[in-house]
Amino acid sequence: MKIAIISDIHGNLPALQSVLNDIKSKDINQIYCLGDLVDFAPWGNETIELIRSRHIPCLLGNHDERIAFDQVIKPLSHQNEEETSARIKAINNSKKTITDLNKSFLAELPFSIRLKYQVGHSNWSILLVHAHPDSNDRYIFENEDENEFSALLQKENIDCLIMGHTHLSYTRNINDKWILNAGSVGRSREKNRLASYLILEINDSGIHPEIRKLAFDKSKVISSILDSEIPDFYAHFWE
């Protein structure tokens, strides 16, 4: 059994297409998406429609929630004045351009998905969230204390927790259980800025994660942002 987990596409259709093409070559049984389909690149509607057309189960990310329910844009303490201004303009652009049909789709997405697999004589429980089991505004970073990870796994009664949100992929094994971050398909904060996603092979012996990182047409993303109403700040991100 193999499943693929994608997250944080942020309207970056070329990156999503690269990832889906790679998944197609990997004998994957099911794809799941952890949310944040919109904002920061000009293909928000196309991204939503591709996820819908492929019938990929998807979670509600914090950016999706803001667009679906027209929530107030709150400044983030870690962003400077330039990024704060660009972020507000980019999100307002999504509010204006995402269709009502696609907003309705986002509004119906679940907060989490629990998966249970029986493989041979083994049973595995996996929880998918966008950011944290308690909130889409919380972050779980790789350097969290091991005791905190263990407590979270025990509280949720799971063998594996998978999230995105930080745009930083990682795998942590805690007493043969896993905390995994799929990274970001469309707006990686890692040095290589590649499109990241996660493959899980699930068998009788356990859960075996693999982080995949792929190139995509960044020049197309840059030029398309520059030609759109999205602030140029998000094109410079890729340079």
How high is the mean pLDDT of the chain? 97
| pLDDT mean over 93-119 | 97
222 pLDDT more than 90? yes
Residue 53 burial (CB count, 10 A): 8
Question: Residue 194: pLDDT band by 50, 70, 90 thresholds?
Answer: very high
Question: Residue 75: pLDDT band by 50, 70, 90 thresholds?
Answer: confident
Residue 217 burial (CB count, 10 A): 14
76 pLDDT more than 90? no
Domains held by the chain: number: 1
| pLDDT mean over 122-144 | 96
| pLDDT mean over 27-42 | 97
Question: Residue 77: pLDDT band by 50, 70, 90 thresholds?
Answer: confident
Identify the CATH number of the domain in which residue 146 sits.
3.60.21.10
Considering the chain, what percentage of its residues have pLDDT values greater than 70? 100
The per-residue pLDDT for 78 is 86
Range of the domain at 82: 2-236
Reading the block at residue 52, the tokens are 């819908």
As a whole number of angstroms, the distance between CA 117 and CA 217 comes to 36
Considering the chain, what percentage of its residues have pLDDT values greater than 90? 96
| pLDDT mean over 144-160 | 96
| pLDDT mean over 173-187 | 97
User: 86 with 233: CB under 8 angstroms?
Assistant: yes
| pLDDT mean over 186-202 | 97
The per-residue pLDDT for 195 is 98
State the SS3 of the chain: CEEEEECCCCCCHHHHHHHHHHHHCCCCCEEEECCCCCCCCCCHHHHHHHHHHCCCCECCCHHHHHHHCCCCCCCCCCCCHHHHHHHHHHHHHHHHHCCHHHHHHHHCCCCEEEEEEEECCEEEEEEEECCCCCCCCCCCCCCCCHHHHHHHHHHHCCCEEEECCCCCCEEEEECCEEEEECCCCCCCCCCCCCEEEEEEEEECCEEEEEEEEECCCHHHHHHHHHCCCCCCHHHHCCC
